[in-house]
Chain A
Amino acid sequence: MRYPEDIKYNKDHVWVKETGAGTALIGITDYAQTQLSSLVFVNLPEPGDEMVLGDRFCDVESVKAVSDVYSPVSGVVKAINEDLLNTPGAINDDPYSAWLAEAEEVTETEELLTAGEYKTYCEELEGGS
């Protein structure tokens, strides 16, 4: 399980990488993709859509499950990773380069975990379940 140091995480297994003033890339973590197993489709938002902290902004499908992804920020969708529409498996291959959407005009970000904190959290989940 990988937990890169240069990004932050939340407890819903979403990662956030700040890319500039008020912009951030958002994706799902290695832990999330392992739990979901092979992804077969992603339903992405459209550029310009509003993102509200804590609200669903896209979903990812595996063969027999669909998982909503909740936004860790409030802002606006600047861009989406359209490549994922044809190759959703890229998220399984490398969840940290396969970003889902980029947010801009970020006004609010939830309190995020560092790589170390998130790693501890995931290990607790594994141990506890």
Chain B
Amino acid sequence: MKLLFEKSVPGRRSYYLSDLDVPMASLPENLCRKAPPGLPELAETDVTRHYSALESRTFGINDGFYPLGSCTMKYNPKINDSVAGLPGFAGLHPLQPIEGVQGLLEALDMADRCLSQITGMDKMTFQPAAGAHGEFTGLMLFKAYHESRGDAARKTVVVPDSAHGTNPATASMCGMKVVNLPSTADGRVDLVKLQEVVGPDTAGIMLTNPNTLGLFEQEILEITEIVHKAGGLCYYDGANLNAIAGVMRPGDMGFDCVHLNLHKTFSTPHGGGGPGCGAVGCKSFLQKYLPGPQVQKDGGRFTFDQSDESVGNILGFYGNILIVLRALAYIMAYGKDGLPLIAKHALLNANYLKHRLAERFEITNKGLCMHEFIITMEKEAKASGVTAMDMAKAIIDNGMMTPTMYFPLIVKECLMVEPTETEGKETLDEVADTYIRIYDALMADPQAAKAFPVNTVVGRPDEVAAARNPILRYTSVDS
């Protein structure tokens, strides 16, 4: 398919602006760029056709089963988009007087209260734009807390080896040293090793629970107690909150600070990679360090001020506000009684699909799983050369999104499956039948496995060529 630039016709354009109604001022020549930017010259028809074609080459949540493990790709209700897009929200200038945004602050306050209740925290900030941004915020809070107590020597962060890569990367960004904690044979935190690595230099621990292997850390109360006794703080990475939201609270597990991926658990659309929101909640003793202004109710009026002891801002304004509104709409749809059903049905669906697939696949989670489970094809790869990648690409060819491939890193040839609660049993049955049929076909003809996918607009890309000789922008042939 041609690029926008290849569709450009010199002299073609659309007209959007009114005529200038004041004298045209001229920009001094010495300040001007030498040539106009090489943007495409198109009519609106060209533009709409182009993006329609691009859309048809994109796999959306409503194109089929979307079981990306650890990503929580659930249905994105339409009402959420429509309320967030109301002009009464989308038309607000971020620096307009607070009196004129009381309705918005009311919504943020409501989101704060709901999410604080759900997590067992005391206060939320919505400034972090993504989960990784939330992790950064959390470690900054830890740092500020330790420094305020003259305990600045606490510069190590304990991270289990099953953690998302963002956890250790965040610790490094915050000038902290990462202590990698090897998992036990069954994939959980090793209490003995944890006890060995914590000490007077421990700033805290970053933990995902259930962890990235889909396992609940049974000894979570002991874990947080060990860290607290050593003087460290406990950070909850909310990547897998969908397994427990409304049923259990990180705050009750002993965590001091959490981030939530509103684009996962609370169903805001992923947008092809963003915008999301990595809302951060904390216990009251950390509240004064939060970045960005905080909504407070003062009588009948909402205020929006930043604490003097705030760690500063991590974004120009206050965060991805329209994403927060979508998440709030989602919470309102379930409410007190309904919210726990999200997690329960996520578990029901995951366990049912796991049960169906177990007849053919090796699954690392023994017994009941949480909201996701991991298939390993290590044996198949060794015996016949059929890899997890081959399985994934054949799945694509059957009109479904793949499970997450090759994560977590500590399981070989893995596929991580997270069906979420927004699937029905009949779909899960169909998926199980399809996976099993694909598996049998691949094992019957391992050679053919490498050819998939064939029903897509392109086949497997040459990633080595892309990385060895990076082409990162279009350059016209005649320039």
A–B touch (CB < 8 A): the answer is: yes
Instruction: Give the B-binding residues of A (Cβ under 8 A).
Output: 38, 40-41, 61, 63-64, 88-89
Give the CA-CA distance A40 to B470 in the complex, in Å. Answer: 10
Q: What chain A residues lie within 8 Å of B406 (beta carbons)?
A: 64
Question: Which residues, 416 to 467 on B, are CB-close (under 8 Å) to A?
Answer: 463-464, 467
Interface digits, B465-476 against A, CB 8 Å rule (1 contact, 0 not)? 001100000000
Count of A-B contacts judged by CB separation below 8 Å: 15
CB distance from B109 to the nearest CB of A (A): 43
Residues in A with CB closer than 8 Å to B464 are 38, 40, 63
Across-interface contacts of B468 in A (CB, < 8 A): 38, 40-41, 88-89
In the bound complex, what is the Cα–Cα distance between A88 and B465 (angstroms)?
11
The residues of B that contact A61 with a CB separation of less than 8 Å are 467
Kindly state the separation between the CA atoms of A99 and B464 in the bound complex, as whole angstroms: 21
Instruction: Say how far A65's CB is from chain B's closest CB, in angstroms.
Output: 9
Given contacts A38-B468, A63-B464, A64-B406, 5 further A-B contacts (CB under 8 A): A38-B464, A40-B468, A63-B463, A88-B468, A89-B468
Contacts of A63 in B (CB 8 A): 463-464, 467
Interchain Cβ contacts under 8 Å between A and B, 15 examples: A38-B464, A38-B468, A40-B464, A40-B467, A40-B468, A41-B467, A41-B468, A61-B467, A63-B463, A63-B464, A63-B467, A64-B406, A64-B463, A88-B468, A89-B468
Task: Determine the residue in chain B with the shortest Cβ distance to A92.
Answer: B464
Residues of B within 8 A of A64 (CB): 406, 463
Q: Chain B contacts of A40 at CB under 8 A?
A: 464, 467-468
A7 smallest CB distance to B (angstroms): 27
CB distance from A98 to the nearest CB of B (A): 14
Docked CA distance A41–B467 (Å): 8
Which residues of B does A touch, CB under 8 Å? 406, 463-464, 467-468
In the docked arrangement, what's the CA distance between A64 and B467, Å? 10
Q: How far is the CA of A16 from the CA of B406 in the complex (A)?
A: 33
**Residues of B contacting A41 with CB < 8 Å?**
467-468
Q: Which residues of B contact A88 (CB under 8 A)?
A: 468
A113-B464 Cα distance, complex, nearest whole Å: 32
Q: In the complex, A41 Cα to B468 Cα: how many Å?
A: 7
Nearest residue (CB) in A for B464 is: A38
A81 CB to nearest chain B CB (Å)? 16
> Once the chains are docked, how many angstroms separate the CA of A62 from the CA of B468?
9
In the assembly, what is the distance between CA of A88 and CA of B406, in Å? 24
Residue on A nearest B409 in the bound complex, by CB:
A65
Instruction: Give the distance to chain A from B427, nearest Cβ to Cβ, in Å.
Output: 31
Which residues of B sit under 8 angstroms from A38, Cβ to Cβ? 464, 468
Say how far A116's CB is from chain B's closest CB, in angstroms.
27
Instruction: Kindly report which residue of chain A lies nearest to residue B406, judged by CB atoms.
Output: A64
A42: min CB distance to chain B, Å: 11
Chain B nearest CB, measured from A90 CB (Å)? 11
Contacts of B467 in A (CB 8 A): 40-41, 61, 63
A63 CA to B464 CA, complexed, in Å: 6
Complex Cα spacing A88 to B468, Å: 8
Closest to A65 in B: B409
A49 to chain B, nearest CB (A): 21
User: How many Å lie between the Cα of A127 and that of B71 in the bound state?
Assistant: 36
The 5 closest A-B pairs by CB, nearest first: A40-B467, A38-B464, A63-B463, A40-B468, A63-B467
- Tell me, in angstroms, the Cα distance from A89 to B406 when the chains sit together: 24
Q: How far is the CB of B461 from chain A (nearest CB, A)?
A: 10
* Best-buried of A40, A41, A89 by chain B (most CB within 10 Å): A40
CA gap between A61 and B464 in the complex, in Å: 10
User: Which of A61, A63, A64 has most B Cβ within 10 Å?
Assistant: A63
Cα distance A123–B464 in the bound complex, in angstroms: 28
- B463 contacts across to A, CB distance below 8 A: 63-64
Q: From A87, which residue of chain B is reached at the shortest CB distance?
A: B468
Min distance, Cβ A89 to any Cβ of chain B, angstroms = 7
- How far apart sit A40 and B464, CA to CA, in the bound complex (Å)? 6
Which single residue of chain B is at the shortest CB-CB distance from A37? Answer: B464
Closest to A38 in B: B464
A38, A41, A61: residue with the most chain B Cβ atoms closer than 10 Å: A38
Q: Please give the distance in Å from B311's CB to the nearest CB on chain A.
A: 31
B contact residues around A89 at 8 Å (CB): 468
CA distance A89 to B467 in the complex (A): 11
**Distance (whole angstroms) from the CB of A37 to the closest CB of chain B:** 8
Nearest chain A CB to B406 CB, angstrom units: 7
Tell me the smallest distance from the CB of A39 to a CB of chain B, in Å.
8
In the complex, residue of chain A having the shortest beta-carbon distance to the beta carbon of B405? A64
- The distance from the CB of A125 to the nearest CB of chain B, in whole angstroms, is 14
In the docked arrangement, what's the CA distance between A108 and B463, Å? 40
Q: Measured between C-beta atoms, what is the minimum distance from B463 to chain A in Å?
A: 4
Closest Cβ of chain B: how far from A70's Cβ, in Å? 16
Report the minimal beta-carbon distance from B469 to chain A, rounded to whole angstroms: 9
Closest-CB distance, A19 to chain B (whole angstroms): 29
- A88 nearest CB across to chain B (Å): 7
- Shortest A56–chain B CB gap in Å is 14
What is the bound-complex CA distance between A40 and B467, given in angstroms? Answer: 6
Taken together as a complex, chains A and B put the C-alpha atoms of A64 and B463 apart, in Å, by: 9
A72 to B252 Cα, complex, angstroms: 49
- CA of A63 to CA of B468 in the docked complex: distance in angstroms? 9
- For the complex formed, measure the closest distance between the CB of B34 and the CB atoms of chain A, giving whole angstroms: 31
Nearest-CB residue, chain B, relative to A89: B468
CB distance from A34 to the nearest CB of B (A): 15
**B470 shortest CB reach to chain A, Å:** 9
